[in-house]
Structure 1
Amino acid sequence: MMKRIILATVLLLAGMIGEVAAQLPAVTLKSMDGKTVRTDTLSNNGKPFIIDFFATWCKPCNRELKAINEVYEEWQEETGVKLIAVSIDQAQNIHKVKPLVDENGWPYEVLLDPNGDLKRALGIQMIPYTLIVDGKGNIVYKHNGYTDGAEAELIEKVRELVGK
């Protein structure tokens, strides 16, 4: 009986923690042009958005962002989704972010997380790491790593959210 009570309590607490973690934490980051952005205010006018954590030195991250870029315009036309790329490059490498973004012609909003504040607040261990946030600001999908073609799963989740 005691084991059941303990298990029920643990499950209840885990459920409550899951609910709390479903919103984006309030962390202050900078955009590439130096503007301050609070992550808990990120939105896409009631439509879902994707947050993709990357670093200039992370090959799978860059493959993922390139692959998404090839279909991004279609995704936007179909679902209205937008992608926010968050660089976790440390301060000494932050100057490499803009050239990488420009060189690849990435149309994404790019935020800089040089101290890993947002990454840490979300409990992210490894990149690439992708989140989908619904139109109400709830984190509804998390994915770690990248394999070729994984972006198809991303857009499927977005389509489910927008009812397409």
Structure 2
Amino acid sequence: MDTWTWGPLVLHQYLVIVLAAAAIGYGVLNLRLRRNPERAAISSAAMSGALIWLLVWKWGWVLTDIQSIWNNPQTLLYFSGGRYAAWLASAAAVIYVGISLERRKIGRPVYSDSLLAAILGGYVGYLALSAALGGKPSIAEISGAVLGIAILIVWLTGSRKFSPKVALQRMLLFGIGFAVLITVSDQLKDRGVNLIGGEGEIGLRVGQQAPDFTLSLLSGEEVKLSDYRGSVVFVNFWATWCPPCQAEMPYMQQFYTNNEKDRVVILGVNETQTEASLPVVKAWVEEWKLTFPIPLDRTGEVGKLYRVQAYPATFVIDEEGIIRQKHPGPMDEGMLESALRAIRGKK
């Protein structure tokens, strides 16, 4: 998986990119407001708004799946509220920042201009970092990043007269810039063109052929990844002692039950070399009533082959054996369904 490990600390690439993009946005905000007497107040409100967004997004999970939380409270530690909670968090953050700055009697043109510039800067940073760290950047990613940087430069070097007219012009630039970025990205992405070839090569990047492997099931029968060609396969690496694995297993089983007839397979690769004993694995499988195949990675070779450094970790593989998504950390049913729709929607 795309992770960095320092001792017991494991950082996922996606999280690093998001945090770095947020830092870039914050830097753009302060750059836009340099030498402005209101910079400290606006920066403080923006930071508080970001913290509110994070809290509402995280604890919005309570509103999206109350029954699961009631059955298994530890899910609160491992899942967020998802897309709907993100929208709710965005609304809460915008309302807070607006009220906070209005109370301080800071001019709307000043804070609206700088905050929009910060959002654009963060988004451009996200695009650029995704392209740089993705291994094989697509034309869509690179074009979006370059175009976004150009728009941001025009914004930051433009007039610093924060009048209502200038604020309106900036808002229009913001809207047009985002519309162009999204349109160009979608158009190029639909063509499926990459600057660097490699579609179908064996590897662990998205777009590459998943490395094949052969393992034994709990029943003793051998299973091979390539045997499932023609089905969408979720290869999930897990262990019984792993709390987030325990949290996601009910969702895995429910998802498998709902989609098994539509040629969807979950291969729950147990990292058996980390377990106390094989009977422990069997006991947990029976406790969770798992019906999908449980291959046993007795030596840990398959986990090493897939560079799994933290559990759980899931690779989503399409009908042709191509890796389409990678998910470090636990997945709930909504995330699993979304991953399946993303693959099926391309057909």
TM range (shorter): 0.7 to 0.9
Matched, 1:43 2:228: yes
**1:36 shift after superposition:** 2.4
Matched positions, count: 150
Q: What residue in structure 2 maps to residue 140 of structure 1?
A: 324
Cα separation, 1, equivalents of 2:317 and 2:136 = 24
Change (3 A) 1:58 1:15: farther
Change (3 A) 1:128 1:18: farther
Cα separation, 2, equivalents of 1:88 and 1:16 = 30
Q: What residue in structure 1 maps to residue 298 of structure 2?
A: 114
Identical columns (%): 29
Structure with the largest fraction of strand: 1
Q: Provide Cα deviations, 1:110-140, integer angstroms capped at 9, x if missing partner.
A: 1000211111111111110011110011111
Provide runs of 4+ in structure 1 moved above 4 Å: 14-18
Cα separation, 1, equivalents of 2:321 and 2:271 = 22
Cα separation, 2, equivalents of 1:72 and 1:37 = 18
Q: What residue in structure 1 maps to residue 70 of structure 2?
A: none
1:13-162 matched pairs, under 5 angstroms: 16=198, 19-21=201-203, 22-39=208-225, 41-43=226-228, 46-76=230-260, 79-90=262-273, 92-146=276-330, 150-162=332-344
Q: TM-score, normalised by structure 2?
A: 0.39
CA contact (8 A) 1:50 1:82 kept: yes
User: Structure 1: which 5+ runs fail to align?
Assistant: 1-9
Cα separation, 1, equivalents of 2:199 and 2:301 = 19
Change (3 A) 1:27 1:48: closer
Cα separation, 1, equivalents of 2:136 and 2:288 = 45
CA contact (8 A) 1:56 1:62 kept: yes
CA contact (8 A) 1:29 1:37 kept: yes
Q: Provide Cα deviations, 1:88-127, integer angstroms capped at 9, x if missing partner.
A: 0217522211111111111111100021111111111111
Question: Which amino acid in structure 2 is aligned with residue 143 of structure 1?
Answer: H
User: Structure 2: which 5+ runs fail to align?
Assistant: 1-134, 138-195
Q: Provide Cα deviations, 1:21-79, integer angstroms capped at 9, x if missing partner.
A: 1223233311111122333x2415x12121111111111112111122234322335x4
Question: Per the alignment, in what secondary structure is the counterpart of residue 159 of structure 1?
Answer: helix
Q: TM-score, normalised by structure 1?
A: 0.77
**1:144 shift after superposition:** 0.5
Cα separation, 1, equivalents of 2:321 and 2:259 = 19
Question: Which amino acid in structure 2 is aligned with residue 102 of structure 1?
Answer: E
Two-structure CA RMSD over aligned residues (Å): 2.8
Question: Which amino acid in structure 1 is aligned with residue 209 of structure 2?
Answer: Q
